[in-house]
Amino acid sequence: MKRVSFMNKCIRLMLYLHNKKIPLLPKLINYFNRIVFSCDIPYTVKIGKGTLFIHSGLGVVIHGNARIGKDCRIYHGVTIGGRGKRGTPVIGDNVFIGANSTIIGDVKVGDNAIIGANSLVIKDVEKNTTVAGNPAKKIKG
């Protein structure tokens, strides 16, 4: 049985309330997460079921227009953000994103991809591929 952290439950509640058009509570939960967990995960982001923020999402920053698939594992210090007018990332299902990685711009990350710690992803990542480095390069798959 998976143990889900309090922060993950807060994010699920925030997204649920936003989808039910309840205006104030999602914002309050977002502020609570910023203060307690030092993360910025807005209520407008689309996050699939089963996605977990490891280490309570400490230091995670996600752009409000980003899309994250199901059953992803996102470690601490990850940034998933925009790049000016170049769009925002779309993360597939079952993706592992290592600590302190940055995914920016109109980037598509395929299903079952692995992004190594401290990687900078500015180009698409194919499904079932492992990338690492700055900028991220394919190392397996």
CA distance 13 to 123: 32
**What amino acid positions are annotated as catalytic residues?**
55
| Residue closest to 106 by CA, chosen among 127, 120, 135, 85 | 85
| Residue closest to 115 by CA, chosen among 62, 59, 82, 75 | 75
Query: Can you read off the two tokens belonging to residue 74?
Result: 């996102």
Query: Can you read off the two tokens belonging to residue 17?
Result: 């309330």
